[in-house]
A = this chain, B = another copy of it.
């Protein structure tokens, strides 16, 4: 019997699961998309999908978070804090019917996917940053998550304020004192009083302000994990001109502190958009499963 693996990405609105052969995790055999309703309902549908395939030996789960992946913690294997009804504390193992599994954060899953088949393919140490409803960071060292027991929470790092920005911020913990509170999608929409896709005449100021903060985030991720490439995605990065502005801001921020040879001096290749779009998470989950099953 062919040995199979499963990849599951749980998101705030939908859950995607896919099955592949352990020796060919890039080729998806079967796939399902399930709306993120209550975990019991999602679990029943997901288990029914997995049961259609005999021989699944391991599942990779890229979960929206924060998620507790520390085996020594009482909350191991569950989402720790989420406004999503029913999901806080729900055991993710139930989603895969108790099959052997490995859990990473959704952003770590995306980092693994981009490393396997996307924009950071062939790059030893890489990071994935998403700027969406929140700010998330995944970091790979040698192609593996930098830790097996925790994921980065860099959405909460402090920021040097833009001189013209007195926005109060939206982080439930930090208000306007962290990058998520100042620069995630909801912060952009609230500061400018418009959805991020309709900034219109405010676009230039919005891009400059946003790049001021994201440049600091890129610098911190660079200093912390020393990646050779950073992939940056998420809904907010679709704002026209923002990627280039963040590239410039990251160079201004680092200011050569890592030497003239450092890849961050070349932001067009250092800071890149995703190659796999919103497919990175499930592809990363499949590759994670293949690596851990083997």
Contacts and interface: CB of A to CB of B under 8 A. Distances in A.
A164 to B, nearest CB: 15
A211 to B, nearest CB: 13
A154 interface: yes
Residue from A157, A161, A256 with most neighbouring chain B CB atoms (10 Å):
A157
As for how many copies of this chain the complex holds, the number is 2
A216 to B, nearest CB: 4
A226 B148 CA distance: 11
A291 interface: no
Contacts of A257: 153, 156, 173-174, 178
Nearest to A226: B150
Contacts of A124: 72, 149
Interface stretch (A42-50, A107-115, A217-225, A240-248): A217-225
Q: Report the contact-size class of chain A (Cβ under 8 Å from the partner).
A: 35 or more
A220 B158 contact: yes
B223 A152 contact: yes
> DSSP class of A's interface residues: helix, strand, loop or mixed?
loop
A106 interface: no
B125 A80 contact: no
A270 interface: no
A177 interface: yes
A239 interface: no
Contacts of A80: 259
A37 to B, nearest CB: 25
A81 interface: yes
B154 A255 contact: no
Given A80-B259, A255-B174, A257-B173, A158 B158 contact: yes
Contact of A149 (B125, B157, B158, B223): B125
Contact of A225 (B147, B157, B161): B147
A159 B224 CA distance: 15
Contacts of A160: 158-161, 177
Interface of A: 66, 72-75, 80-81, 124-125, 141-142, 146-161, 173-174, 177-178, 216, 219-220, 222-226, 253-259, 261
Given A157-B220, A157-B223, 13 more contacts: A74-B261, A125-B147, A125-B150, A147-B226, A152-B226, A153-B226, A154-B220, A155-B223, A156-B257, A157-B216, A158-B219, A158-B220, A224-B224
